[in-house]
């Protein structure tokens, strides 16, 4: 009786394997939290030995930090897609805020809450969180500056306007771990209303633009 050969394991290129590990860890982070990322858990998800994960990420903290950066970058690219850069700033901002208001963004809010809490105790993660906040702040500031140049927004402090919007977004996101919505009209559309106010837009301008361009 001849034995059948087992399934042949495909050997992946190092960059491809590393990217696969990061994508898997980032998905775990978004769905379950950064604390659930371990070398064994990622190995089980990929059907490989934990030693393989350890080869690319000898310390679990490094994997956690890079997984957060990967998830945050992907989500930011989805909120502010590069292929929309030619659209009017008002439309881009309206789409950005509408996407943040969508229930599908709840996992992203939870991830940021999770990362900020853990970063108090993990220096490497703290540096990554700070870096991601800087990139997001810069991207939104650049969008506001584009709107000022085009005459769509009115502000003499683009960074200040971006910070107003982001602080409100973060404040609303602080409720992401709740099991029920706040359920008050003051919270509904608060970030959008803030953006309209600090950018000199009439009330409803951004919400109306987001609805018209869906």
Residues 28-37 pLDDT 10s: 999 999 999 9
Q: Is the pLDDT of residue 156 over 80?
A: yes
Say what the pTM is: 0.86
Which pLDDT score, from 0 to 100, does residue 209 have? 81
Would the pLDDT of 5 be above 50?
no
pLDDT of residue 211: 58
Percentage of residues of the chain with pLDDT beyond 90: 76
Question: For position 106, what pLDDT does the model report?
Answer: 85
Confidence class for position 4, pLDDT limits 50, 70, 90: very low
> What pLDDT sits at residue 12?
82
Q: Is the pLDDT of residue 44 over 70?
A: yes
Give the closest residue to 63 by CA, choosing from 31, 19, 116, 111: 19
Interior/surface letters 98-135, b for 16+ CB within 10 angstroms, e for the rest:
bbbbeeebebbbbbbbbbbebbeebeebbebbeebbee
pLDDT at 116 over 90: yes
pLDDT of residue 102: 84
Please classify residue 94 by burial: count the beta carbons closer than 10 Å to its beta carbon, then call 0-12 exposed, 13-18 middle and 19+ buried.
buried
pLDDT of res. 206? 94
Mean predicted lDDT score pLDDT of the chain: 90
Q: What is the pLDDT of residue 31?
A: 92
Q: Please, is 213 exposed, middle or buried when counting C-beta atoms within 10 Å of its C-beta (0-12, 13-18, 19+)?
A: middle
What is the per-residue pLDDT for 3? 44
> Could you write out the DSSP letters of every residue in 136-170?
HHHHHHHHHHHHHHHTS---S-HHHHHHHHHHHHH
CA 189 – CA 74 distance, rounded (Å): 24
pLDDT tens digit sequence for 158-214: 999 999 999 999 998 888 777 556 667 777 789 999 999 999 999 999 987 865 555
């Amino acid at each position: 009786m001849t034995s059948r050969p087992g399934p042949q394991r495909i050997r992946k290129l190092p960059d491809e394997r590393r990217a696969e590990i990061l994508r898997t860890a980032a998905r775990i982070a978004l769905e379950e939290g950064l604390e659930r990322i371990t070398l064994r858990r990622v190995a089980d998800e990929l059907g490989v030995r934990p030693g393989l994960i350890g080869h690319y990420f000898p310390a679990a903290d490094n994997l956690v930090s890079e997984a957060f950066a990967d998830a945050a970058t992907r989500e930011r690219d989805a909120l502010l897609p590069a292929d929309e850069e030619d659209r009017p700033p008002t439309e881009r901002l309206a789409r950005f805020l509408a996407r943040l208001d969508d229930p599908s963004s709840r996992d992203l809010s939870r991830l940021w809450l999770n990362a900020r809490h853990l970063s108090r105790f993990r220096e490497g993660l703290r540096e990554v969180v700070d870096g991601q906040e800087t990139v997001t702040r810069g991207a939104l500031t650049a969008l506001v500056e584009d709107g000022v140049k085009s005459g769509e927004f009115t502000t003499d402090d683009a960074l200040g306007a971006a910070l107003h919007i982001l602080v409100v977004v973060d404040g609303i996101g602080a409720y992401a771990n709740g099991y029920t919505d706040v359920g008050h009209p003051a919270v509904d559309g608060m970030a959008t209303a803030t953006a309209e106010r600090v950018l000199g837009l009439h009330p409803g301008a951004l919400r109306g633009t987001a609805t018209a361009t869906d």
